[in-house]
Amino acid sequence: MTFPNRRLSIAPMLDYTDRHDRYFLRMLSKHILLYTEMIPANALVHADPEPFLRHDVSEHPVVIQLGGSDPQVLAEASKKAEDAGYCQINLNCGCPSDRVQNGAFGACMMKNANHVADCIAAMKNAVHVPVTVKCRIGVDHDDSWEFFLNFIETVQKAGCEEFIVHARKAWLKGLSPKENREVPPLDYERVLQLKKLHQELTISINGGIKTLEQTKEFLKDLDGVMIGREAYENSWFLNAADAEIFGDNHAVWKSQKELLEAYLPYVAREQTAGCPLTILTRHLSKLFTGFPGARKYRQTLSEEAPKAKDAVSLIRHAMEFVSET
Ligand SMILES: Cc1cc2nc3c(=O)[nH]c(=O)nc-3n(C[C@H](O)[C@H](O)[C@H](O)COP(=O)(O)O)c2cc1C
């Protein structure tokens, strides 16, 4: 298994970072750490786990993120994920959606640090790979430094040595998940303060980070930077990540078109395996943003994918509208 280097990771994003998106992102960078979307632990334990665990070997290193709050179910799910080859298991303690709250997991778990500690202890007991936590800096009115520190230290005592902190709190009632990624203000200082106090912990920062420049700046003080939306809206910036962040100056793609052409054999393979075209093309729609013809490219993909017969021809046809010069 490849040793995971978390200097730059791509955030778990439901309906975004599926295995096709991850395959594509891996073509842009050999070194970024990838995360799955959040996968409910219950689904791995009580349903056929194969569709949830499926991934391509080239995606490695890839972390699985689990959602759940039953220690035994999380432990069993972790074991299945480890057996499937995931290099770390991450527990979601940051998602504020109603669906997640109804299952009593995600961000609401921050209110009960002892219970999260029980979950981590059970998961760690079941696997050899690291078990990590992705959390917020607070929830609702529990947003003091003391609350955050108590959460981290309680979970640390259960054996968690690595945290990814989305540097804003979550409001569990009244804000949609989208608003919860925008409205509560970012407080990077709190994450930096945590690292200063707990040098022994591995700490990554997340929230509103969009460039490799910002990433390098945070890496002076922290172990890792996690980028979410920008990796979906503007994935091309990752073409420079291996050189800029990991010091690996291998040859990179000369253009988006060259990258997309190289991706087409994967698209053909997955279509033959039965994957719908809409799923195979949705993460490609923003690739040419800013170029003449980008809009027509995007429209062609989104309008024709539901009815097209051949994904490769569709993508090539859409690409013809774009002028890269
Ligand atoms: C569409 C979407 C889906 C998301 N799904 C998840 C998820 O499954 N698990 C999770 O921990 N966070 C999820 N997030 C939150 C991101 O992981 C990240 O914490 C957040 O977007 C802030 O980072 P950013 O400002 O770089 O986007 C999601 C975000 C978006 C935009």
What are 159-197's pLDDT values in tens digits?
Answer: 999 999 999 999 998 899 999 999 999 999 999 999 999
Q: Is 227 in the pocket of ligand 1 (CB under 6 A)?
A: yes
Mean pLDDT over the full length of the chain: 95
pLDDT tens digits, one per residue of 106-115: 999 999 999 9
Amino acid at 135: C
Cβ within 8 Å of residue 123, ≥6 positions away: 71, 74, 75, 78, 89, 91, 131
Q: State the Cα–Cα distance between residues 187 and 21, nearest whole angstrom.
A: 29
Report DSSP letters for 271-301, one per residue.
HHTT--HHHHHGGGTTTTTTSTTHHHHHHHH
Can you give the three-state secondary structure of 2-42, one letter per residue?
A: CCCCCCEEECCCCCCCCHHHHHHHHHHCCCCEEEEEEEEHH
Cα–Cα distance for residue pair 127/60, rounded to 1 Å: 18
Answer whether 37 contacts ligand 1 (Cβ < 6 A). yes
- Ligand 1 nearest-atom number relative to CA 106: 11
Report how far Cα 47 is from the mean position of its chain's Cα atoms: 23
> How far from 121 is each of 36, 146, 182, 312, 317, CA to CA, in Å?
22, 23, 32, 47, 52
Q: Please indicate whether residue 13, judged by its CB atom, sits closer than 6 Å to ligand 1.
A: yes
| Residue 283 Cβ < 6 Å to ligand 1 | no
Cβ of 115 below 6 Å from ligand 1:
no
How far is the centre of ligand 1, averaged over its atoms, from the C-alpha of 9 (Å)? 12
Active site residue 95: yes
Is the CB–ligand 1 distance for residue 267 below 6 Å? no
User: Ligand 1 centre and the CA of 262: distance in Å?
Assistant: 28
Under the banding of pLDDT at 50, 70 and 90, the label for residue 2 is: very low
Q: Which atom of ligand 1 is nearest to the CA of 229?
A: 27
- In this structure, the residue with its CA closest to atom 21 of ligand 1 is 228
Question: In which band, very low, low, confident or very high, does the pLDDT at 1 lie, cut at 50, 70 and 90?
Answer: very low
pTM: 0.97
E-state strands within the chain = 8-10, 34-40, 62-67, 89-93, 131-136, 162-166, 202-206, 224-227
- One of 87, 93, 95, 119 is an active-site residue; which one? 95
Residue entry with tokens 């051949």 = 310
